Amino acid sequence: MDRPLRLISTNPLDRLARTLEALLVVAGQPLTPEDLAVAADDDLERVETALGLLSERYREGRSGIVLERVAGGYAFRAARDAALACERLFERPVQRGLSQAALETLSIVAYLGPCSRPDIARVRGVSADSAVAGLVERGLIGEAGREDGAGGAVRYRTTPLFERVFGLESLSELPRLDDLGDGADEIRDRLHAVADQRTA
Amino acid sequence: MDRPLRLISTNPLDRLARTLEALLVVAGQPLTPEDLAVAADDDLERVETALGLLSERYREGRSGIVLERVAGGYAFRAARDAALACERLFERPVQRGLSQAALETLSIVAYLGPCSRPDIARVRGVSADSAVAGLVERGLIGEAGREDGAGGAVRYRTTPLFERVFGLESLSELPRLDDLGDGADEIRDRLHAVADQRTA
Amino acid sequence: MIVRELELDLDAFEGPFDLLLTLVLREELELADVDVAGIVVAFVERLEERGELDLEACGEFLVLVAALLELKARALFPDEEAELGELEPEEAAEELARRLAEYRRMKEAAAVLAERLEQEGDRFFRLGPAPLAPRPERRLAPQEPELLAAALRALAAEPPAVSLAHIERRFPPVRRFVDRFRALLAGRRRFSFDAEVGELSRVEQAVAFLALLELRKANEIALEQAAPFAPIQVSRQEIRRKRESDEAWTARSA
């Protein structure tokens, strides 16, 4: 009677999926399919298939544990409908109270790639020191060597945690800089609207 | 035919179980039933019942994620049959080099003697907090009392492990830096002067 | 229509225009955050509602907004007046516009991030290792002590002067050409400007021409051109040459 069940439970792909569950629940950060294949000592294609199974099993609305694709890999997180419960228990030191200055600094580092405090100050027009220090402390940006090799100003880049907090699969998911118009078109349109009203 | 299943999936206890799953997958330490009851805003008895359900669902042989009852409460862990895979995941290749930030911090502590984070930050021109934390975690530097007695900042010095890694019998075997000045104090002054210039 | 009572509804400020001016002047409101274009649009819309052209109000408004814009531009680039001063006004304006556009794009990017944070706020995940996970040992290969010495030497090295290289590359300083032309004229009485700068880029030629004007203004050179677009001949000013040759003579005889 329980034959079919047993068959399923000893299915090698299911075994692999269980191994992946185990790896994902102990990992401190997202794991790439390659990481998982190496650790599970299995081939990449099968790992991808098993990840497909797990994504289905651990999805919003079905499970309290959700498997998400983020920061270049896969990671477990809490289901969105448990957010309120999570808020009662856990601090959110990373994202709480990010100031406008911090967000601007973060955008500059995310878009311009490794850049120094003087680079950031040049774009923002004001010193970036405290914003940078705050972002480093939160772990959203980290050091990436110095300008001109040694001796120059320290450069910063965004961390995988940044992608995780903002729910990005990778930095390339950010809107392209070219698509962030300078707003001139919108202003022009509004002015034209007024002008049209006038002649009407 | 699927009536009973449907009943289960909308059963409030199952909802509670999902919330508990979510809380447990986010937690960095074991959670007590009391913690869980507060966070889930539900009563303790129901939480205990739901934990029973989850212990059944997340058990050895059935799932790669196992719910474990430990001294401090409940926590998810990897299934035992995934132990080898987990070992491979955590087994890190021997790291070949240190980051720029780590190397700078280490050289300051090694050459200038016990220093606090503010000391290191002053020479580097940027916060040393994460570099110091990283070096402490790997055992290359350790605490060495506080500045000005009890209330001051913690100072750090290099450890015996540091000497082993760098192949030194003692700190006096560090390469000489006569070109930078005579003794630690003079070198420190010079480093401060350059750092001030860099931030100017 | 009273310009000062213009009601504004901007991201950074809500209220009458004169209150905004007061707050800005008291430095209680960061001008960098104020959307000046939004003020202009609000004014034009108000003007349109009234249905008649109030010239006096327009004049007053223009003066106030121009002042606000200038303040804003200066606030955005506090330390760079000297740098921008090296440039010709048009180039400086272009550089300012470029940077304002860049800043504006970054502000929009920041808004995108803020929105994303809002949407993703209900995603909770674990920071750091799992409660019962093994703590891996991070082993480090043997290191060379010389690395430490090199790191400290690098920290003790004089920092490179704040690099304006990217500006200079595009806009060589006028000074460079002033010096170069002076040196040329120390050796001979006259030279052909066109021949001298013929192989330079257009930008460099333009800056070289500015240097000529500078030298002419200081009365150090005379410029001749046979016809419009004909080659420009540059020669030393006679009076100056005389004095210099006297000095040279004295020096040589001593």
Partner residue facing C152 (CB), from B111, B138, B197? B111
Q: How many CB atoms lie within 10 A of CB C141?
A: 11
Q: What is the pLDDT of residues C119-155, one digit of tens each?
A: 998 999 998 888 888 777 778 999 999 999 999 998 8
Contact, A88 vs B36, CB < 8 A?
Answer: no
| Residue B30 confidence (pLDDT) | 95
Higher pLDDT, B129 or C214: B129
Residue linked to tokens 């030279």: C191
pTM: 0.68
| Residue A122 confidence (pLDDT) | 82
Give C-chain residues touching A103 at CB under 8 angstroms.
Answer: 110-111, 113-114
Which residue in chain A has the smallest CA separation from C157? A151
Q: How many CB atoms lie within 10 A of CB C145?
A: 18
Amino acid at A72: G
In this predicted structure, which of B19-28, C154-163, C217-226 has the lowest mean pLDDT? C154-163
Give B162→chain A minimum CA distance, Å. 22
Q: What is the pLDDT of residues C205-253, one digit of tens each?
A: 767 777 787 788 778 888 887 776 678 888 887 654 444 444 433 333 3
Q: How far apart are CA C2 and CA A119, in angstroms?
A: 42
Q: How far apart are CA A95 and CA A161, in angstroms?
A: 11
Candidates C148, C162, C163, partner chain B, best to mutate (most B CBs within 10 A): C148
Q: Does A34 contact B at CB distance below 8 Å?
A: no
Higher pLDDT, C168 or C81: C81
Q: Which residues contact A91 (CB under 8 A, 6 or more apart)?
A: none
Mean pLDDT score of chain C:
76
Residue linked to tokens 């229509």: C1
Candidates B26, B47, B105, B132, partner chain A, best to mutate (most A CBs within 10 A): B26
Contact, A147 vs C142, CB < 8 A?
Answer: no
| Residue A194 confidence (pLDDT) | 60
Residue linked to tokens 């450069």: A155
Contact C148 B107 (CB under 8 A): yes
For residue A66, the surrounding DSSP H or E stretch is: strand A65-70
Amino acid at C129: P
Candidates C126, C155, C163, partner chain A, best to mutate (most A CBs within 10 A): C126
Q: How many CB atoms lie within 10 A of CB A73?
A: 22
| Residue A92 three-state SS | coil
Amino acid at B45: E
Contact, B32 vs A82, CB < 8 A?
Answer: no
Q: Where are the beta strands (DSSP E) in chain C?
A: 7-9, 14-16, 190-192, 221-225, 232-236
Contact A26 C107 (CB under 8 A): no
- Tokens representing B143 are 């605490």
Which value, to the nearest 10 degrees, does the dihedral of the CA atoms of residues B76, B79, B80, B83 take? -90
- Tokens representing A177 are 């800089």
Contact C103 A106 (CB under 8 A): no
In this predicted structure, which of B114-118, B193-197, C122-126, C205-209 has the lowest mean pLDDT? C205-209
Q: What is the 3-state secondary structure (H, E, C) of A152-178?
A: CCEEEEECHHHHHHCCCCCHHHCCCHH
Chain B residues 150-179 within an 8 A CB cutoff of chain C: 165-168, 173-177, 179
Q: What is the pLDDT of residues A89-133, one digit of tens each?
A: 998 888 888 988 899 999 999 998 899 998 898 888 777 888 999
Contact C156 B110 (CB under 8 A): no
Sign of CA dihedral C212, C213, C218, C219: positive
- Phi and psi at residue C113, to the nearest 5°: -65, -40
| Residue C134 three-state SS | coil
Higher pLDDT, B34 or C84: B34
Helix, strand and coil in chain A, % to nearest 5: 55, 15, 30
Q: Which residues contact A148 (CB under 8 A, 6 or more apart)?
A: C160
Q: How far apart are CA C246 and CA C251, in angstroms?
A: 8
Q: Which residues contact C84 (CB under 8 A, 6 or more apart)?
A: C77, C92, C95, C96
Give C122→chain B minimum CA distance, Å. 12
Confidence of residue A184 (pLDDT cuts 50, 70, 90): low
Estimate to the nearest angstrom the gap between the alpha carbon of C192 and the chain centroid: 33
Give C-chain residues touching A96 at CB under 8 angstroms.
Answer: none
Whether the predicted pLDDT of A140 surpasses 80: yes
- Tokens representing C236 are 């030393």
Q: How far apart are CA C39 and CA C21, in angstroms?
A: 12
Contact, B109 vs B157, CB < 8 A?
Answer: yes
| Residue A146 three-state SS | strand
Which residue in chain C has the smallest CA separation from A78? C124
For residue B123, the surrounding DSSP H or E stretch is: helix B117-124
Q: How far apart are CA A9 and CA B63, in angstroms?
A: 10
Give the mean model confidence (pLDDT) for residues B53-60: 96
Q: How far is CA B4 from CA B1, B10, B11, in A?
A: 8, 10, 10
Partner residue facing C108 (CB), from A98, A108, A180? A180
Give A19→chain B minimum CA distance, Å. 5
Q: Which long-range contacts (CB under 8 A, 24 or more apart) does A191-194 make?
A: A191/C41, A191/C44, A194/C44, A194/C45, A194/C48
Whether the predicted pLDDT of A191 surpasses 80: no
Contact, B106 vs B168, CB < 8 A?
Answer: no
Contact C127 A27 (CB under 8 A): no
Partner residue facing B88 (CB), from A39, A76, A133? A39
Which ipTM score applies to this complex?
Answer: 0.82
Q: Does B22 contact A at CB distance below 8 Å?
A: yes
Subunits next to C (3 or more Cβ pairs <8 Å) are A, B
**Residue in B91, B3, A175 with CA at minimum distance from that of residue C110:** A175
Give B77→chain A minimum CA distance, Å. 6
Q: What is the pLDDT of residues A55-67, one digit of tens each?
A: 999 999 999 999 9
Amino acid at C241: R
- Phi and psi at residue C142, to the nearest 5°: -55, 140
